[in-house]
Amino acid sequence: MSGSKTITVGLLALALAAGTTACSPAISAPEPTAYQVSVDLFSGRENPETALSTPVAERIHQDLDSRAAEFQDAPEPAAPLGFRGFVVTPGSGPHPVLRVTPDTVYAVRDGGHRKLADPTGTFYRAILDDIRPRLPRDVVDALP
């Protein structure tokens, strides 16, 4: 009987040392990011990604929705070397994927592209201002 007591105490000590107890809450999966931004910059190397804050993303989509009549059908944008835009992907919901360059916003839905001229760079700057603190310095330095 004393042998089983020793084993039980030993197992309890091992569990406590490992940081778990019978009452430990289960580790939950991280919550999904509402909007993901990929900085489409590199060729041959993975593009950096970060979250876009929900308030900024919602404001951008609200502004774009109010300008829906200004969008024009367009071919897929060219893919030159260097910066090709921020690709904003919603985690879910009705919003399209956006490709935002310093002077144009492309909305991609069901394989079709629509574009909106943004000569003042309002949408580009809103995204950059939000994600800049979370990007590596070399990426920020390479952006227009």
The answer as to whether 132 is a domain residue is yes
Taking the whole predicted model, whether its pTM rises above 0.85 is answered as no
Residue 40 within any structural domain of the chain: yes
Does some domain include residue 63? yes
- The answer to whether position 47 is within a domain reads yes
**Does residue 44 lie within any of the structural domains?**
yes
Tokens 């993975």 belong to: 46
Residue 142, both tokens: 């390479």
Domain count, the chain: 1
Please choose, from the candidates 88, 82, 113, 112, the residue with its C-alpha nearest in 3D space to the C-alpha of residue 100: 88
Write out pLDDT tens, residues 68-118.
999 999 999 988 899 999 999 999 888 999 999 999 999 999 889 999 999
**Does some domain include residue 15?**
no
Residue 8 lies in a domain: no
* 94: containing domain: 32-142
* 13 inside domain: no
